[in-house]
Amino acid sequence: MTFTRFLKGAALAIMIGVSSVAMVASAGFAQTVDAPMPPAAKPDPNAPVAEPEEEIINLLDREPEPLFSDILAPYAPATAATHGVSNGLRQGALYLMAKLTQDSTPLDDGLIWRIYSETTNSDGRLELVATSEGGDAEFRLDPGTYLIHTAYGFAQATNRIVIGKEVLSKMVTLNAGGIKFNASLKDGDNINHEPISFDVYGMTFDARGERDKIASNVKPGSIIRLSANTYHVVSRYGDVNAVVRADIQVLPGKLTEATVLHKAADITLKLVNERGGEAIANTTWSVLSPGGDIVVEATGAFPDFVLAAGEYEAIARNNGRTYLQKFEVSSGDDNEVEVVTTTSELASQQGTSSN
């Protein structure tokens, strides 16, 4: 029986009871009174005035008092109590729903609910009482104070609630949105198939001057859910120096599509005896910036790197000899850089003798 039906039934019972009393009184009056009643005595004007009786409040006409500021639709348990009458009297029922914004519809999937007791255990940690995944959730809990943790991707909210032996319902507004990540080169084409990843950081710094990392190694085309805020996003193309940073704002209830423009290319190095010749194995490589800083090092016949656009110098070492080759990287122009032993060795020897 729902709460509304219970109240209607109670009202009907009250009305029937009053009618029955009235009928009995009328019957009694007809049996015991044979003559008209004498007129009542004239009231004394000097008698003290009696205090008016307290007005009777009809509970059926009162507006229900909200349990929370964000009221849900009427709640009814999905199933009847399965733990017996004593359990139903001992525990309260908590029904939870969540939505992205005040104006959006409730979420029906992707939610993780965690209920913690407000008191800590012997280890000083909050005790996890119950969990649920999916959309809305229903919990049966002993009376007490609890913390409700709601997670939708990386968007989170924590609320405190006091539960008795009644039925409570609560809507959690996450105030969240999302970001969809993409990356492109100079021609504007997305490069989802390339080794590109995204890391998401908060905007504040800790005591060590580092940002709080929220999500890491997010792949292009992925959508992550975040609380509405501004985030620092770092996109890496390869593992060397092709890095782009940007601050991106997430709006509540909105999906922000963030496309990062990379200026870089994939470069393969080869040490050969002549142009177009076979690569020489067992070669050690160093790639330097124009200022002489080491950008990346590797060993092998065909080292392959993604490098940011700019000028570089390749140093190849093989069989005790060193060979040099300057080259340039243009955005989106994947290329193979050959270091030829004859010309490079002669230039190296001339540079050494001049010193």
Predicted confidence (pLDDT) per residue in 91-135, tens digit: 899 999 999 999 999 999 999 999 999 888 788 888 999 999 999
pTM of the entire structure? 0.69
How far apart CA 262 and CA 244 sit, in angstroms, is 7
Q: If you write DSSP's letter for every residue of 227-271 in order, what string do you get? A: ESEEEEEEEEESSSS-EEEEEEEE-TT-EEEEEEE--EEEEEEEE
Residue 198: the pLDDT is 96
Instruction: Name the residue type at position 117.
Output: S
Comparing CA positions, the residue from 314, 320, 319 lying closest to residue 340 is 314
Q: According to the model, what pLDDT value does residue 121 have?
A: 79
106 within 8 A of 95, measured Cβ to Cβ: no
Place of tokens 């194995």: 281
Q: For residue 255, give every residue at least 6 positions away whose Cβ sits within 8 Å of its Cβ, in sequence order, or none.
A: 177, 178, 179, 180, 223
Which structure tokens are listed for 28?
Answer: 């009694």
The domains found in the chain, sorted by start residue, are: 63-174 (2.60.40.10), 176-261 (2.60.40.1120), 264-354 (2.60.40.1120)
Alpha-carbon distances of 264 from 59, 176, 217, 269, 334, rounded to whole Å: 73, 34, 19, 16, 9
Residues (pLDDT < 50) of the chain are: 1-35, 52-88, 344-347, 349-350, 352-355
pLDDT of residue 2: 37
Walk across the sheet containing 155-163 and list its strands.
126-134, 111-120, 144-152, 155-163
Question: How far is Cα 287 from Cα 321, in angstroms, rounded to an integer?
Answer: 16
Q: Within 13 Å of residue 262, how many CA atoms lie on the same side as its CB?
A: 31
